[in-house]
Structure 1
Amino acid sequence: MMASAKSTSDNLQPAKPRILLAVSGSVAAIKFEILCRKFLEWAEIRAVATQSSLHFIDRRSLPSDVLFYTDDDEWSTWKKIGDDVLHIELRKWADIMVIAPLSANTLAKIAGGLCDNLLTCIVRAWDYRKPIYVAPAMNTFMWNNAFTKRHLDVIKELGFHLIPPIAKTLACGDHGNGAMAEPHVIYNTIRLSFKPSAS
């Protein structure tokens, strides 16, 4: 069927960026729905969740047009050599990866090169010519721990972009730095820094 003038004109519009939003096991994961809805204003979204993050997410509340993947999906459709491998396909699909919140545990795994779930397998297979952003969230004492500094230094050296946490009263009652940056800050940081590929 021949494309109409309208659809031809639409094709001249720049394609939406493809953003892979990942969530790990922090209380700040309760804001993941807000983050998804914010990014949908501008981009195509696919979402990846660790097993521990599911404690804080109501999957039914997520926008219906966001494809949502968990560890259970990693090998569910793989039957034989030649079939798609999910963590590779998601890496190929995405223009940008955002991990928000990034828990202390997932930070430590990434810094150590571990890849024992869908999220960390994507990171290990990532093409670092494409940006990857992290928005940490953890208890203040965890944030101030020497291990955290070492791990952040490692991922920064790899090319990760840090969206720093903020100081506030945390869910545990402690007051101090370690709360995830607000969703609108994460969104604005990435949108303002995004540079479309020249293809």
Structure 2
Amino acid sequence: MEPHPTAASLVERKFHVLVGVTGSVAALKLPLLVSKLLDIPGLEVTVITTERAKHFYSPQDIPVTLYSDSDEWETCVIRAWDCSKPLLFCPAMNTTMWEHPLTAQQVDQLKSFGYVEIPCVYKKLVCGDQGLGAMAEVETIVDKVKEVLSQHNGIQQS
């Protein structure tokens, strides 16, 4: 029988989180998101970004490994994803795009793969729209990451 892991041994384990960011105004939240994720004990964070996303934040404000490419290859990373590992996605777009029927189909397709949606929220968007489409708040995302890590790896939520 394997001994029950102690809290100290769980903190020593490294859990890897890959944050993907695209050219959406929601990329403004990346520095804060990375900072809050790094507050989770035992978590290692890496960022994959499109060049267009860098328009919304300064790469110098990201204190972790940052991979970027002008060809927006994040979809290739997702297609190569090990489906036994959790994948969370946070939609962000203007309200008209969010309400388009194709968006619902795409979100449903991702969820059918077992990916976890962190739903967008209703607010006044940068484009002036009032409605759904804003990326979830950083605290909501971090809480969901903690929850998923707890479910998949036995980390105690703090």
Q: Shorter-chain TM-score category?
A: 0.7 to 0.9
Structure-2 residue corresponding to 1:146: 101
TM-score, length-normalised on structure 2?
Answer: 0.84
Give secondary structure in 1 for the equivalent of 2:93: coil
Which of the pair has more CA radius of gyration?
A: 1
Deviates more, 1:116-125 or 1:17-26: 116-125
When normalised by structure 1's length, the TM-score is 0.68
**Distance of 1:67 and 1:12 partners within structure 2:** 23
Gaps of 5+ in 2: 1-7
Displacement, 1:12? 7.3
- Give unpaired runs (5+ residues) of structure 1: 1-9, 73-115
Task: Give structure 1 regions of 4+ aligned residues with deviation exceeding 2 angstroms.
Answer: 10-14
Q: Distance in 1 between matches of 2:56 and 2:11?
A: 37
1:22-171 matches, cutoff 5 A: 22-42=20-40, 43-63=43-63, 66-71=64-69, 117-171=72-126
Q: Secondary structure at the match of 1:44?
A: strand
Distance in 1 (CA, whole Å) between partners of 2:72 and 2:126 is 26
1:17 is matched with 15
The 1:62/1:13 distance shift into structure 2, 3 A limit, reads: closer
Rounded to whole Å, the distance in 1 between the matches of 2:11 and 2:141 is 25
State the Cα deviation string for residues 36-66 of structure 1 (Å, max 9, x = none): 0000011111100012211112111122xx0
**CA RMSD for the aligned pairs?**
1.7
Identity %: 38
> What is residue 196 of structure 1 aligned with on the other side?
153
AA partner of residue 24 (structure 1): T
Counterpart residue identity of residue 176, structure 1: G
Report whether the alignment pairs 1:186 with 2:119.
no
| Offset at residue 118 of structure 1 (A) | 2.8
Task: Specify the alignment match of 1:104 in structure 2.
Answer: none
| 1:127 partner SS | coil
**Corresponding position of 1:175:** 130
